[in-house]
Amino acid sequence: MHWLARIVLIIAGNALALWLANMYIPGFVLNANWLQLAIIALILALLNFILKPILTLVLGPIIVITLGIGIVVVNAIIVYLLPVFANHIDILRGSISIETIPALILATLIVSVINFLIHLAT
């Protein structure tokens, strides 16, 4: 698949996952228009591209001991950091927040499943 189409598909998938988390998970608040949602999805894609390999390397023994379930911890850290990074951008300030730990876990599962399906397709 062409690299630009793959990037657009990843960002669109992240936007879909965040929108689904907003619709179905209480405690996951996304007050954003479509442009802000696209920017937040881009930030999530960048965090997955830059931070996920580092966290996977650092938490590698935990991932191996838990037979791969520890990758959910890596994804939860990335989803937890998403509002932190988004709030540092002026147009995104206050547009996303995660209020409870169960909301973080459920949002992580939704984002993980959507990203897994996208990476299977590409």
pLDDT in tens, 10-69: 999 999 999 999 999 999 999 989 999 999 999 999 999 999 999 999 999 999 999 999
Please name the residue ranges forming H helices in 25-100.
Answer: 34-58, 60-65, 71-86
Q: Is the pTM of this model over 0.85?
A: yes
- pLDDT tens-digit map of 73-89: 999 999 999 999 999 99
Cα distance between residue 85 and residue 93, in whole Å: 10
Could you tell me if 75 and 111 are in contact, meaning their C-beta atoms sit under 8 angstroms apart? Answer: yes
Cα separation values, 108 from 1, 4, 35, 41, Å: 26, 25, 22, 14
Alpha carbon separation from 85 to 44, 47, 67, 92, 97 (Å, rounded):
9, 9, 30, 9, 11
